[in-house]
Amino acid sequence: MVNTMTRFDLFLKRSFDLLVAILGLALTWPLIGVCWLIAAIETRSNGFFIQQRVGRHGRIIRVCKIKTMYASDSKRSPLASDNLSSITRSGAVFRKYKLDELPQLFNVLIGDMSLVGPRPDVPGYADKLTGGDRLILSLRPGITGPASIKYKNEEQMLASVDDPRWYNDKVIWPDKVSINKEYFRNYSLVRDIKYIFQTLLG
């Protein structure tokens, strides 16, 4: 029999998200402020980067991160590997230590995101899921998760292949879908805590 998330699981997950988000923001808001200031000075713009992503049930949400790239007049590629040349010096450090992700605790607090789950994708991927793959949209997108941990070096991986878009669409994305479906079917709070520690220590 295939396991799935129960209402109690969802309640437990949301309660844990709220507790950690409140504690996390209380502890890290000075660090978020410093990162914002550094990013604002280097990019000469708002140090926060806010982008539309696909959230739970396919609803569009606005995800907040520390800005790690210079402004561009042209539309950004949905593949991060295409934008490596635009990364700021501070942005490279923020990305390495996941500091750019800290403002997403606000997204967790208001219920748009979870600490653990599928990464919030730009429109054109998660919102195009069909059939049983749409199971993933039952989850709030996460700051980290099993797929994020496996592909923590995704930018470098894509930059090393001849056709990054093909490799992403035909290899990485389908694997992420499979991993996230498995996460949904075998959810436990203990695993969530494990994924958080793996991210912090990784």
Fill in the amino acid letter for 124.
Answer: G
Q: Is residue 2 part of a domain?
A: no
Q: Is residue 1 part of a domain?
A: no
Enumerate residues 6+ apart whose C-beta is below 8 A from 111.
Answer: 14, 140
Q: How far apart are CA 59 and CA 70, in angstroms?
A: 28
**pTM for this predicted structure:** 0.90
pLDDT 10s digits, 66-79:
999 987 665 555 55
Domain range for 68: 8-201
Q: Which of 8-12, 24-28, 83-87, 114-118 has the least mean pLDDT?
A: 83-87
Q: Is residue 142 part of a domain?
A: yes
Transcribe 64-85 into DSSP letters. Answer: EEE--B---SSPPPSSGGGGGG
Query: What pLDDT sits at residue 71?
Result: 78
Q: Is residue 151 part of a domain?
A: yes
Q: Which long-range contacts (CB under 8 A, 24 or more apart) does 155-160 make?
A: 155/80, 155/81, 155/84, 156/81, 157/81, 158/79, 158/80, 158/81, 159/81, 159/84
Q: Number of folded domains in the chain?
A: 1
pLDDT 10s digits, 104-118:
999 999 999 999 999
